Structure 1
Amino acid sequence: MQTDFTARQREDPGIVTAAGIIRNCVHCGFCTATCPTYLLTGDELDSPRGRIWLIKDMLEAGGPPAPAAVHHIDRCLGCLSCLTTCPSSVDYRQLVDVARVHIAEHHRRPWHQRLLRGLLSTVLTRPALFAAAVSAGRLVRPLAGLLPAPLQAMLAMVPAKAATAAAPRAGVFSPIGAGAGARVALHAGCVQPVLRPEIDAAAIRLLNRHGVEVVVAATGLCCGALDHHMGKEDRARRLAMANIEAWEAELAGGGLDAILVTASGCGTVVRHYDELFARDPAWAARAARIAGLTRDISEYVATLDLLPPVIAPGLAVAYHSACSLQHGQQVRLQPRQLLAASGFDVREIGEGHICCGSAGTYSILQPEMSQALKARKQAAIARTGATLVASGNIGCLEHLSSEAAPTIHLVELLDWATGGPRPSALPVSGNRDDS
């Protein structure tokens, strides 16, 4: 696809990146077959191919974008399924990020959208504030039906009961078993410690049990993903800088073999931290070092020699591969292999490459599209006959959880299988040893 940027526009690193990506697109349309929004609407402008045209025109024109461009780019989940289908290696991930920054800088949204996005950026990225909001949300939930759809979607995130476990505090967690003799940092994040603190607690137990020392940095913050996906690049960079400095301090101290992330949405952003600093080579180099050390928890655990399972085999588990993991990080086999080796009956979900509709803040900002994709995914899960769903991303876990099929993080199941406590969300049924 040809582009027509001016010489002045080509002085912007973002435009240079976008232009190269756009020129790689041959407009073949293979991406339409795997794009969730196109599958729902059948509208060409809700496909990656259509959005590339909109982004090209928007960036070439400069200034305020057309309302249609904002509408259709906003409706992109950022699931990156198109990346795995494109025969021309079009890096749609970077392109849509450039487009979102342009919209954030040149488009003035209606006041209620600005308020909602501001609340999401302010509340979700601060665990203490988010915890207070969750507590307040439990009081408001009975009135959810009277509220606008985005607020209903926000309240749907609120667990019915408060978490019984506390999130692991910053510090060093020493190994208790023989094994790897390695030292890793665990990214705590912002939303997950409030909604499901038991995930990181299970990750630490699992790693310690297999000889791995775990450090949770005292100054670690939100990874920046939520702001990044809303085009708030300056704030995303500030958060990234804080995390980079915290992990550099650990590297300079006790050293690190890896930086592990238990929320794959966060991991995808951290693994591309260097792209946030295209205008700052010094920070880009520091970010690239951190990105190179970052691994999803399943990738790292797959390198360990796990203890034999101590629980009865055969529990049917539908594995939901988060888009950020299978498309964003290209991690597909390890989670399935780990579950199978630990004695679980792993069931494949039909249309496993199609997004569940969570996508970070998408379920709040685009509730109608999100709910349609959720219903489609839950129907596919039901057809597996599994009694629970395993995944590696907090957004998917919360979005898909139901009484029919509770959701549990992969590491909780692996921790239980190798000697840890039974996950609290696990249904008591079947031929399992539930002790």
Structure 2
Amino acid sequence: MQTHLSEQAKQLPRAEEAERILRSCVHCGFCNATCPTYQLIGDELDGPRGRIYLIKQVLEGNEVTAKTQLHLDRCLSCRNCESTCPSGVQYHNLLDIGRAVVDAAVPRPLAQRALRESLRAVVPHAGLFKGLTQVGQVFRPLLPASLKAKLPRTAGVAKPRPAPRHARRVLMLEGCVQPGLAPNTNAATARVLDRLGISVTPIHEAGCCGAVDYHLNAQEQGLQRARQNIDAWWPAIELGAEAIVQTASGCGAFVKDYGHLLAHDPAYAEKAKRVSTLAKDLVEVLSVEPLEQLGVRTDKRLAFHCPCTLQHAQKLGGAVESVLVRLGFALTTVPDSHLCCGSAGTYSLTQPALSRQLRDNKLNALESGKPQVIVTANIGCQTHLDGAGRTPVRHWIELVEEALH
């Protein structure tokens, strides 16, 4: 499409990128056909094509309103539209640019600001988040239903991790909420990798990937977390670590974007590019290993929920399913497996009504094949789906580790 950025918009650090993305969109509308919020609401402005039009208006100098902000807030950033788009429109990058401009122009109500600042103050801090989770479990009977749904149904316990002993070494991003909500996921990963002759080198200085801050429009703070992680990992990278493994696909998608997001930072551009190259979702590591030597034995019937950050952002749809089938698990068919579950980072808290609708629709699809367990590859999806109190939802690597013999 044709676009004419305002003089003010031309001064933005990512102005050229925004203009390039806008011009790549041909307004065909194929994206709306797979957009979860458009399917629920039916408003053109709650689909990718409409949101692109809104961002175009903003960048061309038209009035920015709270309504503009609302339609952008309702976007899940699931990137389903990118999988559908025949023109390769990098919608998520345009959305980040647009949201920053809109939030700078439209002050949020106090309640929204308080919620967002609270999330940023708690979620990225693993120790604090874990402590609050443990307190929440103690006082669970007294909590409102909305908070109970965010806590694990049972308190997880991490099994012991093997000491590093192999020549092959990888790093692992521990995550900020996963250690509190599902502490055994990373331990199970370390144990399975150890059986394959790969040791996990702990890097305790690495923290939150930065996605929480970045997607709550504290973009510079999110990038600063990225820089801190790069600094923490770099010595081990120089010593030959072969990958940076993520067990949460949401974190993985963001770490893989470090190279793009820090491309204009002279101090970090090359390092960020290297880190993004080394970043691997767990399934990418396992899929090329001799899994048969694990000796997995199982008769479990599973439904796999493929997170949006795995299938649309990382383009790894079908990868986990292939590994699980190789290991002998029976997988059910999941209708509309491309659709978002409604978790989307902090979306379930900032847009609770839409999020619950998407969750219930997703659970209906996942349960249609009558699985014993639902498995997924992202802690946000896992917590969100399990919070409905229906079929148990776990990370797929824990089922694999339990089936080792």
> Cα RMSD over matched residues?
2.0
Paired position in structure 2 for 1:178: none
- 1:207 counterpart (193, 197, 206): 193
Paired position in structure 2 for 1:110: 109
Equivalent pairs counted in the alignment come to 404
Paired position in structure 1 for 2:169: 183
Paired position in structure 1 for 2:381: 396
Whether contact under 8 Å (2:308, 2:340) holds in the other structure is: yes
| Change over 3 Å in CA distance of 1:65–1:343 after alignment to 2 | same
- AA matched with 1:53: Y
Secondary structure of 1:389's match? strand
Secondary structure of 2:267's match? helix
Kindly state the Cα deviation for residue 256 of structure 1 after the two structures are TM-superposed: 1.1
User: In the alignment, does 2:5 pair up with 1:12?
Assistant: no
Whether contact under 8 Å (2:126, 2:179) holds in the other structure is: yes
Moved over 6 A (4+): none
Identity %: 39
TM-score by length of 2: 0.94
Paired position in structure 2 for 1:39: 39
Paired position in structure 2 for 1:423: none
User: In the alignment, does 2:219 pair up with 1:219?
Assistant: no
Kindly state the Cα deviation for residue 172 of structure 1 after the two structures are TM-superposed: 6.2
Whether contact under 8 Å (1:306, 1:418) holds in the other structure is: no
1 CA distance for matches of 2:102 and 2:51? 13
Paired position in structure 2 for 1:134: 133
| Change over 3 Å in CA distance of 1:133–1:103 after alignment to 2 | farther
2 CA distance for matches of 1:167 and 1:128? 19
| Change over 3 Å in CA distance of 1:8–1:68 after alignment to 2 | closer
Matches within 5 A, 1:72-91: 72-91=71-90
- AA matched with 1:220: A
Kindly state the Cα deviation for residue 103 of structure 1 after the two structures are TM-superposed: 3.1
| Change over 3 Å in CA distance of 1:329–1:29 after alignment to 2 | same
Whether contact under 8 Å (1:357, 1:369) holds in the other structure is: yes
- AA matched with 1:29: G
Paired position in structure 1 for 2:226: 240
Kindly state the Cα deviation for residue 347 of structure 1 after the two structures are TM-superposed: 1.4
Paired position in structure 1 for 2:151: 158
| Change over 3 Å in CA distance of 1:5–1:167 after alignment to 2 | farther
Q: Which runs of 5+ in 1 are unaligned?
A: 146-151, 176-180, 420-435
Secondary structure of 2:137's match? helix
1 CA distance for matches of 2:163 and 2:57? 51
2 CA distance for matches of 1:10 and 1:216? 44
Paired position in structure 2 for 1:317: 302
2 CA distance for matches of 1:17 and 1:236? 19
2 CA distance for matches of 1:163 and 1:272? 31
Deviations 1:92-139 (A, max 9, x none): 011111122223433311111111101101101111211222233335
- AA matched with 2:225: L
- AA matched with 1:394: I
1 CA distance for matches of 2:11 and 2:307? 36
Kindly state the Cα deviation for residue 251 of structure 1 after the two structures are TM-superposed: 1.4
Deviations 1:68-102 (A, max 9, x none): 11000000000000001000100001111112222
Paired position in structure 2 for 1:433: none
- More off after superposition, 321-330 vs 129-138: 129-138
2 CA distance for matches of 1:388 and 1:288? 38
Paired position in structure 2 for 1:426: none
User: In the alignment, does 2:261 pair up with 1:262?
Assistant: no
Paired position in structure 2 for 1:274: 259
Kindly state the Cα deviation for residue 311 of structure 1 after the two structures are TM-superposed: 5.0
- More off after superposition, 10-19 vs 362-371: 10-19
Deviations 1:243-266 (A, max 9, x none): 0011111112x3111111000000
Paired position in structure 2 for 1:286: 271
- 2:358 counterpart (364, 373, 376): 373
| Change over 3 Å in CA distance of 1:308–1:346 after alignment to 2 | farther
- More off after superposition, 41-50 vs 152-161: 152-161
Paired position in structure 1 for 2:181: 195
Whether contact under 8 Å (2:159, 2:188) holds in the other structure is: no
2 CA distance for matches of 1:174 and 1:153? 44
Secondary structure of 1:364's match? helix
1 CA distance for matches of 2:60 and 2:232? 39
| Change over 3 Å in CA distance of 1:218–1:136 after alignment to 2 | closer
TM-score by length of 1: 0.88
1 CA distance for matches of 2:223 and 2:211? 10
Whether contact under 8 Å (1:172, 1:216) holds in the other structure is: no
1 CA distance for matches of 2:373 and 2:156? 19
